[in-house]
Structure 1
Amino acid sequence: MTLSTDLWQASRELAQACLAHPFVQGIATGKLPIQAFQFYVGQDAYFLQAFARGYSVAAARSPDWEGFQAFHELAGGVLEELRLHHEYAHRWGVNLGAVTPSPATRRYTDFLLATAWSQEVGVTAAALAPCMRLYAYLGQRLAEQGPAADSAYREWIQTYSSPEFDALARRLEGLVDRYGRDDDLTRSAYAYAMACELDFFQAAWEGGKS
């Protein structure tokens, strides 16, 4: 078993909790309150900017050219994802320039950037990987459930269930396997990021009710 697979398996309970979360299931049924998705779009756009920076720092700190190229190309994938969020924002009237990060978002982004600047790239890759693998997992599971035909969130499911997004997740996991060490620091970074993902969905769910 590869390191990335082992880390994912160790966090499957958190992944299942994310899948069962009412925010995620609301996307599947199309019944998620629009206010919750509006809140999520703003917070996720803020998060993705930090995520892209994390990739860029990892690229600069990469010990070889192959890693440099891979992290930069993954950052490009985040920029594509951000373009989708700008479309969402325009469609649902979200002013991304006025977004204030929630405590959950700030905890997650501060953790990612602190890790990228202070740790070896293997630990950084382990901190970044849960987001990519979890979203691929959620997209694929929701696609299997069969989203409601009139769901306003079908595009979200299509994006994260796509083979292209899964390929990005696998590429990042390859960097975990290439540079990561199977030690407490790597495992704690992965586990903490996965816990942040669940907190992120909970914050969006609560933010949509305020």
Structure 2
Amino acid sequence: MTLAAQLWTDNADVVADVLAHPFVRGIGDGSLDRDLFAGYIAQDAFFLESFARAYGLAIARSGDTATLLALAELLGGVRDELRLHASYAASWGIDMGGVEPAAATLAYTEFLLATAATADLGVVCAAMTPCMRLYAHIGTTLDAASAGPYAEWVQTYADPGFEEVAAVLEKLLDQHGGDSPAVRTAYRRAMRLELGFFESALAARG
């Protein structure tokens, strides 16, 4: 079993908690309050900008051409996600300017940027992989036909192209990471922060 596959397996408990979370289930059956989803999209756009910056830091520190090019492709994938968020903002009237990040959003972005700025590349990949793998898993687990207004969101993450992007990052994790406490801790923390992100989005209903 590869390192990335082992880490995913070892964090199956958090994955199960995410899939069972009322926010994710609300997306899956289309029942999620529209305002909650709009708030989530705004927070996620803020997060994705930091995710892109973390890729940029990783690119600057990459030691070989293949890794540099792979990270650059991954950065392009974040651009596509941000375009999706901009599309939602335009069609749903979401104000993306001046987004005030929630505490959970800041906890995640600060963790990613601090890791990308100071840690070894393998640890950086471990911190960034859960986001990609988890969303690919959510997309293929949920049924777009049942998601109502959120069908486009489900389809985006269920797309084989998104799976391929997640697999590229996992390959980099396998290449540059080792089965070390730092790698395991970074991966686990990112997974827990993902769960906290959904919890925060649901709690925004006040």
Q: Normalising by structure 2, report the TM-score.
A: 0.98
Q: Which runs of 5+ in 2 are unaligned?
A: none
Specify the alignment match of 2:64 in structure 1. Answer: 64
Looking at structure 2, the residues matched to 14 and 147 of structure 1 have their Cα atoms a distance apart, in angstroms, of: 26
Q: Which whole-Å CA distance do the structure 1 matches of 2:29 and 2:46 have between them?
A: 26
Deviation (angstroms), 1:90:
1.3
Does the CA contact (< 8 Å) of 1:42 and 1:96 recur in 2? Answer: yes
Task: Give the superposition deviation at 1:112.
Answer: 0.2
TM-score (norm 1): 0.96
Q: Secondary structure at the match of 2:190?
A: helix
What's the CA shift for 1:93?
A: 1.4
Q: Does 1:206 align with 2:172?
A: no
Match of 2:166 in 1: 169
Correspondence for 2:129: 129
| Residues paired across the two proteins, number | 206
Match for residue 4 of structure 1?
A: 4
Tell me by how many angstroms 1:181 deviates: 1.3
Aligned equivalent of 2:176, options 158, 163, 179: 179
RMSD of equivalent CA atoms:
0.9
CA distance in 2 between partners of 1:44 and 1:116 (Å): 19
The secondary structure found in structure 1 opposite 2:146 is coil
**In 2, distance between residues paired with 1:139 and 1:67?**
27
Shift of the alpha carbon at 1:63?
1.3
1:114 maps to which residue? 114
Shift of 1:35: 1.1
- Deviation of 1:95 (Å): 1.1
The answer on whether the counterparts of 1:30 and 1:147 sit within 8 Å (CA) in structure 2 is: no
The CA deviation string for residues 53-74 of structure 1, in whole angstroms up to 9 with x for no partner, is 1111111111111111111110
| Matched letter for residue 160 of structure 2 | P
1:1-210 correspondence runs (5 A):
1-143=1-143, 147-148=145-146, 151-207=148-204, 209-210=205-206
* Runs of 4 or more consecutive aligned structure 1 residues displaced over 4 Å after TM superposition: none
Q: Provide structure 1 residue ranges, at least 5 long, that are not aligned to the other structure.
A: none
